[in-house]
Amino acid sequence: MRIVFAGTPEVALPSLEALLASDHEVVAVLTRPDAPSGRGKQLAPSPVAARAAELGIETLKPVKPSDPDFLARFREIAPDCCPVVAYGALLPQSLLDLVPYGFVNLHFSLLPAWRGAAPVQHAVLAGNEVTGATTFRIVAALDAGPTFLQMTEPIAPTDTSGELLARLSVSGADLLVRTLDGIADHTLTAVEQPTEGITLAPKITVDDARIHWSRSAAEIDRVVRGCTPAPGAWTTFRGDRLKINSGTPIDGQRGAPGELTITKRSVTVTAADGTGLLLGEVQPPGKKPMNAADWARGVAFVPGEALGG
């Protein structure tokens, strides 16, 4: 099939590469416009746009997918099917109607669970032991279209969202290619999603990433892992924000919620129900990530101090 691949961030690249290596012809790429990046906030192309430029593939970057000029060019290209991985904007019906075999989304969840922008993060936050990826035909409603194929992936107790998403982006790429193969040779039929078991996964906000030390260490650990690498779990220390990049839940911790216990080689924070979090890596404002014990040695710790106050 002639395809236009729609995707934007790094996580979409394994699918683009897999499709380029398949029997399908990638005739163009649809991605989000260039955006400010790095310390200088200079405009930079998305990872998908940068890869397409290396390959000499036409790249479409409409501000809005409903833009008339973009739609006119899309009609001229006339793709048979459009695989989508984390494109980053809603696709209007006027665009969906232009493709005979439709827009086929690779979503990193076991639909109908975790419909939305942050399915992997929410699976980690909820303490799910298994997640996966699903291919489905995009319809007007959020992630509600009929599904083609699905695969599962265990969530390890130490997985961050970034690590889990990296694995899913690779295994999901194969799922996407097999889906397009099945559509092309008419061996694959989409089936409607179940009406039960629907959960939503909206984008994680900075407020969502704030650590509440009145929760158990297991819950806090899920916040840390679910919000890593972005937006990053955080607490406060002496009024400034402190990012917590990693930690290990422990039992037998006593003290008030957020209270610090510091030794030469470790920093532990009291959580609820006799648990605590042994801090791994932290990041003070304006500084690089560092070991928690190194951070504690540099702040002239006062006994009884706490995080999150």
20 is in an annotated binding site: no
* Number of neighbours of residue 100 by Cβ within 10 angstroms: 9
Close Cβ partners of 65 (under 8 Å, ≥ 6 residues apart): 30, 89, 90, 91, 92, 95
111 is in an annotated binding site: yes
The Cα 248–Cα 121 span in angstroms is 18
165 is in an annotated binding site: no
SS3 at position 243: strand
Q: Which residues of 251-260 are buried (b: 16+ CB within 10 A; e: fewer)?
A: eebebebbbb
- Is 276:221 a contact under the CB 8 Å cutoff? no
22 is in an annotated binding site: no
Q: Which of 253, 125, 256, 275 is nearest to 201 (CA)?
A: 125
Vertex 200 angle, CA 164 and 168, to 5°? 20
DSSP 268-303: EEE-BTTEEEEE-EEE-TTS--EEHHHHHHTTT--T
Q: Which residues are annotated as a binding site?
A: 109-112
Q: Which residues are annotated as a binding site for (6S)-5,6,7,8-tetrahydrofolate?
A: 109-112
